[in-house]
Amino acid sequence: RPVQITLFDLAGQRVAVLAQGPRGRGVHTVQWNGRDEDGRRVASGVYWYRLEAGNRLYARKLLLLR
């Protein structure tokens, strides 16, 4: 089943794609290094991540503290 996890700032701008591609059933872990797609460190604060798995869509808040 294809999965994509995308991270957005509060303005709705895409920060990074954390995971993309097929994943099997079960528990998976994704770690974010606090950098955007260009490798720049992002500021502490609240971000949104969006998880798309098959035909399901979830959105949750994420707090980055440095």
pTM summary value: 0.89
Strands (E), the chain: 2-8, 14-22, 45-53, 56-64
Query: Quick one: pLDDT band at residue 1, thresholds 50, 70, 90?
Result: confident
pLDDT tens-digit readout, 18-34: 999 999 989 999 999 99
Spatial neighbors of 39 by CB under 8 A, at least 6 apart, are none
Whole-number pLDDT of residue 61? 97
Whole-number mean pLDDT of the chain?
96
Residue 39 in this model has a pLDDT that exceeds 90: yes
